[in-house]
Amino acid sequence: MTVSRKDEEAVSWLFRLYGHGGVVIEEFPGVEEGDSSFEGRTVVIKTYLSVNGRWIQRLKSLEDGLHRLVIFGPLSPLRTQHIEEEEWAAGWKEYFPLHRVGSHLVVKPSWREYSPLPEDVVIHLDPGMAFGTGLHPTTRMCLEELEIWLRPGDSVLDLGTGSGILAIAAAQLGAAKVLALDIDSLAVRVARENVARNQVESTVSVVRGSLGTSRGRVSRDALKFDLVVANLDSTTISRLLGPITRAADKEGRLILGGISQDGLEAVMAAASSYGIHMLRVVEDGPWRTLVARFGTTTQG
């Protein structure tokens, strides 16, 4: 489905909600000749519906959700195509190159060759059908902020880990322990495979669940993290700020990504009500990533 960048968050959220195997977002130039503005650019959003599941009902729910979005502006027609699941799982790989993030991070697809430089911190990644390739602005901003704010020896919580990319980056950057949580069983499987691929199993634990509902044996005392990173969406982050507050150390640092420009004010208001102080707001198009902490407003 082709949508404008301003509609990307809402449509991709619906696709991720009802799709079976994650979401692919392909960027294209603006549809209007000479329109170089961010709003004038378009993306194609794709997901997969397994015929082994309740795909007809899921497709109907997706169509209903898109119909409700029409009140905010016209959308292009939803197109469907029958393909094998293996074709879907492999087809997006051509859009996933090796790329650098921040000062030293290198995200290397597992199927590409690369000879790292001495200062490179390489993340070997096969996201499969889980969210988190490092290409999306929200993931990239979280990686950049992790490189700045993570201290060697930190305990880290990655909430909504997806492919595990942020958890692995935290481990590679020197975290002492990382708990990676996700409610999606596919994401948990993919994240565990990527953790093993990067040989950080002794540092990163991947658990299916969310704060307060994780199925792994996570003690109450263990839920005190020096740094919490959550690359989700504005609504989910606002809802989880209470549990995040209880999970973080009293002067813990937070990196909150996936926040839309329209959702920024609500997230900041919710954060303020929990005594969370903003250190910086990073922008990329319609996306915002917040860096914050408890206890004090001094940086470091």
Residue from 177, 210, 207, 166 nearest 189 by CA: 207
**Where are the domains positioned within the chain?**
2-92, 96-294
pTM: 0.74
Q: Residue 30 has what DSSP assignment?
A: -
Residues 6+ positions from 50 with CB-CB distance below 8 Å:
20, 21, 85
Are the CB atoms for 167 and 158 separated by under 8 Å? yes
CATH code, 2-92: 3.30.70
Give the integer Cα–Cα distance in Å for 288 and 265: 11
Are the CB atoms for 140 and 166 separated by under 8 Å? no
User: Which helix (DSSP H) or strand (DSSP E) does residue 159 occupy?
Assistant: strand 155-159
pLDDT band at 125 (very low <50, low <70, confident <90, very high): confident
96-294: in CATH 3.20.10.10: no
Mean pLDDT, residues 125-129: 71
Q: According to the model, what pLDDT value does residue 87 have?
A: 65
pLDDT at 184 over 80: yes
**Average pLDDT, whole number, for the chain?**
81
Bridge partners (DSSP) of residue 267 are none
